[in-house]
Amino acid sequence: MLNSIEEIVKKVYDAIDDKKGEDIAVLNVGKISSMADYFIITSASSERQVQAIAHNVEDELKKVGLNVKGKEGHNASRWILLDYGDIMIHIFHNEEREFYNLERVWKDAPYVDIDNLN
């Protein structure tokens, strides 16, 4: 079991990175919203890769006893949202990420340097 939300964020980051997720962004939305503490956003160049990333995140978190609370977009595989309560993971096809531009929408949320996450 992971002891802190920061350890979970790192686990998610590594699971995304293992499946070659592109431009991984970790936003600390908890500083500006009560919706979640962190948004983790990534993209992929194919629908198959979007699915692979989502499956890997779910598998890796399940290994440490965490189950997804909500899941959206799995059928279309253009934008999959995995809701873990304090952490929301957005896995986009490249075109959808550019269109929805969550980083701009949540521009007031500070970016987290994963290497310095405590």
**Edge to edge, what strands does the sheet with 87-93 contain?**
22-27, 38-44, 87-93, 79-83, 70-72
Residue 118: band (very low, low, confident or very high) from pLDDT cuts 50, 70, 90: low
In this structure, what are the phi and psi dihedrals at residue 103, rounded to the nearest 5 degrees?
Answer: -60, -35
* The pLDDT value given to residue 117: 75
- DSSP reduced 3-state for 56: helix
Domains contained in the chain, CATH given: 5-112 (3.30.460.10)
E strand segments, the chain:
22-27, 38-44, 70-72, 79-83, 87-93
Does pTM top 0.95 for this prediction?
A: no
Q: What is the pLDDT of residues 46-98, one digit of tens each?
A: 999 999 999 999 999 999 999 999 999 978 889 999 999 999 999 999 999 99
